[in-house]
């Protein structure tokens, strides 16, 4: 019965899409960051990312950052620009 209910829900595309949006799918992102050289840089980048709407910081190290972001609130470009505002150059790793 459970399986049947789930199947029915999946066959209703509109309803499923609405439900998924409300769930909010976070995207994972790993950035390489040029220009970072010490703990001050780590704090500057971390602080800026934490103030960026829709971003949840996982880790910031010298030269890299990993985070999750809500694509309905921000974009990779916005995140890279925020880091650029702090004076560093970020790009998607990998
Ligand atoms: Cu530094």
Sketch the domain layout of the chain as residue ranges. Answer: 24-92
69 Cβ contact list (under 8 Å, min separation 6): 26, 27, 29, 54, 55, 56, 76, 79
Mean pLDDT, residues 28-52 taken together:
98
C-alpha 85: how far from its chain's center? 18
Q: pLDDT at position 14, please? A: 54
Distance 25 CA to ligand 1 centre (A): 33
- Domain 24-92, what architecture? 2-Layer Sandwich (3.30)
Q: Say whether pTM exceeds 0.85.
A: no
Strands in 1-94 per DSSP E = 27-34, 55-61, 64-69, 89-92
Ligand 1 centroid to 21 CA: how many Å? 39
Distance CA(70)–CA(78), nearest Å, equals: 12
- What is the CA(78)–ligand 1 centre distance, in A? 22
Asked if the model's pLDDT at residue 37 lies above 60, the reply is: yes
Segment 53-61 mean pLDDT: 98
Above 90 in pLDDT, residue 19?
no
> Residue 5: pLDDT above 70?
no
The reported pLDDT for the residue numbered 8 is 40
What is the Å distance from ligand 1's center to 43 Cα? Answer: 8
């Amino acid at each position: 019965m459970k399986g049947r209910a789930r199947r029915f829900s999946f066959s209703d595309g509109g309803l499923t899409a609405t439900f998924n949006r409300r769930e909010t799918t976070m995207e994972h992102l790993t950035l390489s960051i040029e220009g970072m050289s010490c703990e001050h840089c780590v704090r500057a980048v971390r602080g800026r990312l934490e103030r960026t709407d829709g971003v949840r910081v996982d880790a910031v190290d010298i030269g890299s950052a990993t985070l999750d972001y809500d694509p309905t609130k921000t974009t990779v470009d916005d995140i890279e620009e925020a880091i650029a505002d702090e004076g560093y150059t970020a790009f998607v790793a990998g």
